[in-house]
């Protein structure tokens, strides 16, 4: 995955809560066997409404999505992350994320930023008032900056390091092959196999 | 049992594992450090830690990896690209479920067919057991694991599907993962993960007659909200939970994810052991005795502390249905569609407003007056034999007035239902008796709602467009689904 250190871009306010992954990418798009082309499916049902915020030309090219609470709930489909990234988003800001979505994001280098609901609301209001406003999301400093607004966010050191280095989790785990083999030799003998 | 002397003067948790107990002996204070009790989730977690390092996620061993056609193709591609193999094909099993049509014949949709064929190629190439369409072992991924006896207490189970939480009904730690993690498990049979917090949901009292496991979990989600379980492993406890059958427990754990929880668990007991005994992959002979002895230790210690405790009184519950577009937007069937004004929280209020608009419902409408076009009985939530029996009991001798799909969760469930003659009951009532699959749960196969159509569905998600673009979903129990099919309006069996 691409390394993430700091990113500055325009932001789209998505004033909805419980944005489940079925909305981010409806199931009909999940039939693909490749990893590309999912940007067309991003919010495809909502985008049919001309008033939907992503259809506002002023937000074209924006790279930060600022959503209401409980973003990415529901289905485990990583396609939701792929769709957001392939559409051009690098960051999603919300007061709360679905666990699996958040996990999937950090595996792919899409940064999920948790901020208190009132701060999210202030960012939404600011980018509605000035659609050209640029937001900086600084993973090094764990900070979101927009004009006078400076908001610190939390992310654990390990995930931050992995994102900043753009490291592949599998490669990291395979460094511990010996630990895995040792564990396997001590598993309870009655545990089932599928053969 | 630990004997304690003196009077309690205080308890301080000094780490996750130790606690400082302060006792008072007539003015003289003594302190002792004791090992803290552990929750069920902590016991299962600790048993699977391959590697623990401060400041890093634990590397957790995975005992069973379930695979289906939708979330695996890119993972296998990843393996090939990096020249990696599947570490433990013998701990991996695959089935075809999300895309499959539930009427006999090939998959007409070319894209769906390609996805299923890709799974066949991948499982053949990497030596993974597959139950394809038409096979006697095929079915919804979360139905076949328990059915084969592959899901056992104390195991770690993952799948690229959020309803993997189903398997927690056995006292397994089971959770859904994304495709990157599917690839990770294929390559390493482990996952790096931080230990979630623990939540106890204590269900006191008994479920009244006619109130089911589905009503219980819908009521729980309405109480704690779709984000209420976020960051937690939930353990369902209490009298009402103990009295649930394994199938009811699976229904409850299945929807843990709808409350945002990473996993849901229920401590194994005699009900669990009886369900497992004699299943194809359950241990036998001495191994069975050894396993049962271990499984009996898989309960939260009396002095274990949960990070959060939620109480719910089962005896006050009635059949529950959803009125909105997330599973937390539910209410007793005897109530009315709420008004956005009923919600003081502005986020909930605007969510309700939007939901009512999407659902085409007016505030104040009695839920029993809501008319549906389609009834769906099936899915990993309610597609097991008990669910079909419950629906058949209500449909026996009655006629449905709506399109009614009865979809067994697996080919084995189908066979069992036919041996009991349930299919004849459904057909006589005018319902459609289908082949096994995910069917109308998720709009990926031919079973969908048309725009504006409304369903009463035993599945798990009432999201916008979940059952087909523009479709409107009310989540219900199999009993309510069957009664609704008879009247065409949301109906509890007692109303008939």
B207: closest CA of chain A, how far (Å): 27
Tokens of B103: 């009427």
Query: What confidence tens digit (pLDDT) does each residue in B26-46 have?
Result: 777 777 777 789 999 999 999
Give per-residue burial for B240-269: e unless 16+ CB within 10 Å, then b.
bbeebebbbbbbbbbbbbbbbbbbbbbbbe
Strand pairing category for A149-152 and A143-146: antiparallel
Among A34, A81, A96, whose Cβ lies nearest the Cβ of B227? Answer: A96
Yes or no, beta carbons of B464 and A23 under 8 Å apart: yes
Place of tokens 């207490």: B153
Among A34, A98, A191, whose Cβ lies nearest the Cβ of B63? Answer: A191
Please check the confidence at residue B10 and state whether its pLDDT lies above 70.
no
- Detail the DSSP E strand segments found in B266-340: 308-313, 320-322, 330-332
In a mutational test of the B interface, the residue from A17, A18, A30, A120 whose CB has the highest number of chain B CBs within 10 Å is A18
Residue B217 pLDDT level (bands cut at 50, 70, 90):
very high
Q: How far is CA B301 from the centre of its chain?
A: 24
Are the C-beta atoms of residues B195 and B56 closer than 8 Å to each other?
no
Residue B12 pLDDT level (bands cut at 50, 70, 90):
low
Please check the confidence at residue B424 and state whether its pLDDT lies above 70.
yes
Yes or no, beta carbons of B469 and A176 under 8 Å apart: no
Return d(Cα B270, Cα B289) in angstroms, integer: 13
Tokens of B243: 């009295």
End-to-end Cα separation, chain A, in angstroms:
35
Q: B50 to chain A: which residues are within 8 Å by CB?
A: 176, 179-180, 183
Which residue is closest to A160 within chain B, CA to CA?
Answer: B56
Yes or no, beta carbons of B162 and A76 under 8 Å apart: yes
**How many CB atoms neighbour CB B271 within 10 A?**
17
Dihedral sign (CA A102, A108, A113, A117): negative
The reported pLDDT for the residue numbered B339 is: 98
For chain A, positions 16-75, list CB contacts with chain B under 8 A.
16-18, 20, 22-23, 26-28, 30-35, 45, 68-70, 73-75
The H or E element containing residue B371 is none
Please check the confidence at residue B23 and state whether its pLDDT lies above 80.
no
Phi-psi region of B231 (alpha: psi -120 to 50; beta: other; left: phi over 0): left
Among B61, B152, B188, whose Cβ lies nearest the Cβ of A192? Answer: B152
Yes or no, beta carbons of B64 and A192 under 8 Å apart: yes
Residue B3 pLDDT level (bands cut at 50, 70, 90):
very low
- Detail the DSSP E strand segments found in B160-269: 173-176, 190-193, 197-204, 232-237, 263-265
Q: B74 to chain A: which residues are within 8 Å by CB?
A: 33-35, 78
Q: In what order do the strands lie in the sheet with B64-67?
A: B129-131, B92-95, B64-67, B156-159, B173-176
Counting as low any pLDDT under 70, the low residues of chain A are none
Tokens of A175: 């460094």
Cα dist from B324 to A16, A27, B334, whole Å: 14, 20, 16
Are the C-beta atoms of residues B319 and B214 closer than 8 Å to each other?
no
For chain A, positions 111-170, list CB contacts with chain B under 8 A.
117, 156-158, 169-170
Section B158-172 average pLDDT = 98
- Give the CA dihedral B387, B392, B394, B395, nearest 10 degrees: 140
Are the C-beta atoms of residues B462 and B361 closer than 8 Å to each other?
no
Helix (H, G, I), strand (E, B) or coil at B10: strand
H helix runs in B198-314, sequence order: 213-224, 239-242, 246-254, 270-276, 285-296
% chain B with pLDDT above 70: 96
A104: closest CA of chain B, how far (Å): 6
Among A34, A179, A195, whose Cβ lies nearest the Cβ of B90? Answer: A195
Yes or no, beta carbons of B51 and A107 under 8 Å apart: no
Q: In what order do the strands lie in the sheet with B308-313?
A: B263-265, B232-237, B197-204, B308-313
In a 10 Å sphere around its CB, with 0-12 CB exposed, 13-18 middle and 19+ buried, how is residue A7 labelled? middle
Return d(Cα B478, Cα B488) in angstroms, integer: 15
The reported pLDDT for the residue numbered B2 is: 41
The reported pLDDT for the residue numbered B14 is: 61
In a mutational test of the B interface, the residue from A100, A117, A158, A166 whose CB has the highest number of chain B CBs within 10 Å is A100
Which residue is closest to A169 within chain B, CA to CA?
Answer: B184
Q: How many residues does chain A have?
A: 195
Residue B17 pLDDT level (bands cut at 50, 70, 90):
low
The closest alpha carbon to B42, from B165, B173, B140, B178, belongs to B173
Among A16, A17, A170, whose Cβ lies nearest the Cβ of B183? Answer: A170
- The pair phi, psi for residue B27, each rounded to 5°, is 100, -25
Within 8 A by CB and 6+ apart from A187, the residues are B61, B63
The reported pLDDT for the residue numbered B224 is: 97
Residue B6 pLDDT level (bands cut at 50, 70, 90):
low
The reported pLDDT for the residue numbered B409 is: 98
Within 8 A by CB and 6+ apart from B324, the residues are B330, B351, B352, B355, B356, B359, B462
Q: How many residues does chain B have?
A: 496
Residue B1 pLDDT level (bands cut at 50, 70, 90):
very low
Place of tokens 């770690």: B156
DSSP-derived secondary structure for B424-478: HHHHHHTPEE--SS-GGGSSSSS--PPTT-EEEESSS---TTTTSTT-EEEE--H
3-state secondary structure A164-183: HHCCCHHHHHHCCHHHHHHH
Yes or no, beta carbons of A173 and B188 under 8 Å apart: yes
pTM: 0.95
Cα dist from B365 to B102, B335, B340, B496, whole Å: 35, 9, 13, 20
- Give the CA dihedral B14, B16, B17, B21, nearest 10 degrees: 30
Which residue is closest to A23 within chain B, CA to CA?
Answer: B464
DSSP-derived secondary structure for B473-494: EEE--HHHHHHHHHHSB---GG
Among A35, A170, A193, whose Cβ lies nearest the Cβ of B188? Answer: A170
Q: B188 to chain A: which residues are within 8 Å by CB?
A: 170, 173-174, 180
Q: A34 to chain B: which residues are within 8 Å by CB?
A: 73-74, 77
Are the C-beta atoms of residues A112 and A101 closer than 8 Å to each other?
yes
Please check the confidence at residue B462 and state whether its pLDDT lies above 60.
yes
Query: What confidence tens digit (pLDDT) does each residue in B75-123 have?
Result: 999 999 999 999 999 999 999 999 999 999 999 999 999 999 999 999 9
Please check the confidence at residue B19 and state whether its pLDDT lies above 50.
yes
Within 8 A by CB and 6+ apart from A52, the residues are A43, A46
Return d(Cα B134, Cα B194) in angstroms, integer: 40
- Detail the DSSP E strand segments found in A73-133: 91-94, 111-114
Return d(Cα A90, Cα A137) in angstroms, integer: 10
- Mean pLDDT computed over every residue of chain B: 95
Return d(Cα A163, Cα A102) in angstroms, integer: 13
**How many CB atoms neighbour CB B460 within 10 A?**
29
Section B296-305 average pLDDT = 97
The reported pLDDT for the residue numbered B22 is: 75
Geometric angle at alpha carbon B236, from B232 and B240, rounded to 5° = 160
Tokens of B227: 């984000």
What single DSSP character describes residue B34?
E
The reported pLDDT for the residue numbered A1 is: 82
Among B184, B291, B325, whose Cβ lies nearest the Cβ of A170? Answer: B184
Section B340-365 average pLDDT = 97
């Amino acid at each position: 995955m691409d390394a993430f250190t700091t990113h500055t871009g325009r932001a789209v306010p998505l004033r909805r809560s419980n944005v489940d992954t079925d909305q981010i990418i409806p199931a009909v798009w999940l039939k693909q066997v490749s990893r590309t082309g999912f940007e067309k499916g991003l919010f495809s049902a909502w985008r049919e409404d001309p008033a939907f915020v992503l259809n506002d030309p002023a937000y074209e090219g924006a790279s930060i999505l600022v959503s209401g609470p409980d973003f990415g709930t529901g289905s485990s489909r990583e396609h939701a992350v792929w769709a957001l990234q392939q559409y051009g988003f690098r960051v999603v800001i919300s007061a709360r994320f679905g666990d699996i979505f958040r996990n999937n994001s950090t595996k792919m280098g899409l940064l999920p930023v948790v901020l208190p609901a009132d701060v999210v609301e202030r960012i939404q209001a600011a980018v509605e008032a000035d659609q050209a406003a640029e937001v900086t999301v600084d993973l090094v400093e764990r900070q979101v900056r927009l004009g006078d607004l400076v908001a610190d966010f939390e992310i654990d050191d390990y995930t931050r390091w992995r994102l900043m280095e753009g490291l592949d989790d599998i490669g990291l785990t395979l460094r511990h092959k010996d630990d895995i083999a040792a564990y396997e030799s001590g598993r309870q003998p009655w545990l089932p196999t599928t053969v | 049992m630990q004997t304690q002397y003196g009077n309690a003067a205080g308890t301080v948790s000094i780490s996750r594992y130790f606690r400082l107990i302060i006792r008072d002996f007539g003015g003289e204070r003594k302190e002792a450090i004791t090992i803290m009790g552990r929750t069920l989730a902590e016991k299962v977690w600790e048993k699977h830690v391959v590697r623990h390092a401060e400041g890093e996620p634990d590397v957790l061993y995975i005992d069973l990896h379930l695979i289906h056609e939708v979330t695996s193709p890119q993972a296998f591609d990843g393996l090939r690209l990096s020249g990696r193999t599947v570490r433990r094909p013998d701990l991996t099993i695959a089935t075809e479920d999300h895309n499959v049509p539930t009427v006999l014949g090939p998959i007409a949709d070319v894209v769906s067919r390609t996805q299923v064929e890709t799974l066949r190629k991948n499982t053949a190439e990497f030596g993974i057991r597959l139950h394809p369409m038409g096979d006697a072992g095929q079915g919804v991924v979360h139905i076949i694991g328990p059915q084969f006896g592959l899901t056992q207490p104390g195991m770690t189970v993952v799948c690229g599907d959020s309803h993997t939480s189903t398997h927690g009904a056995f006292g397994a730690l089971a959770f859904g993962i994304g495709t990157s993690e599917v690839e990770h498990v294929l390559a390493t049979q482990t996952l790096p993960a931080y230990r979630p917090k623990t939540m106890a949901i204590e269900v006191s009292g008994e479920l009244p007659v006619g109130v089911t496991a589905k009503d219980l979990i819908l009521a729980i989600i309405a109480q704690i909200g779709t984000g209420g379980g976020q960051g937690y492993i939930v353990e369902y406890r209490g009298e009402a939970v103990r009295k649930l059958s394994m199938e009811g427990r699976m229904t409850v754990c299945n929807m843990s994810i709808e409350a945002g929880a990473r996993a849901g668990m229920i401590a194994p007991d005699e009900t669990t052991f009886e369900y497992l005994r004699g299943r194809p992959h359950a241990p036998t002979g001495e191994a069975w005795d050894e396993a049962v002895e271990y499984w009996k230790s898989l309960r939260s210690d009396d002095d274990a502390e949960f990070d959060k405790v939620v109480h719910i009184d089962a005896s006050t519950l009635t059949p529950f249905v959803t009125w909105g577009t997330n599973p937390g937007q539910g209410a007793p069937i005897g109530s009315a569609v709420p008004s956005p004004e009923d919600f003081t929280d502005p986020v909930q209020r605007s969510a309700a407003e939007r939901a009512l608009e999407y659902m085409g419902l007016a505030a104040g409408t009695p839920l029993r007056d809501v008319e549906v076009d389609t009834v769906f009985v099936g899915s990993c939530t309610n597609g097991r034999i008990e669910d079909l029996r419950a629906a058949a009991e209500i449909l026996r001798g009655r006629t449905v007035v709506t399109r009614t799909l009865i979809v067994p969760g697996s080919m084995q469930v189908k066979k069992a239902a036919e041996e009991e003659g349930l299919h004849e009951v459904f057909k006589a009532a005018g319902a459609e008796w289908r082949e096994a699959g995910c069917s109308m749960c998720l709009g990926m196969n031919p079973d969908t709602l048309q725009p504006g159509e409304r369903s009463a569905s035993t599945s798990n998600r009432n999201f916008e467009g979940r059952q087909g673009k523009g479709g409107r979903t009310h989540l219900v129990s199999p009993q309510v689904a069957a009664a609704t099919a008879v009247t065409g309006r949301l109906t509890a069996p007692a109303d008939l």
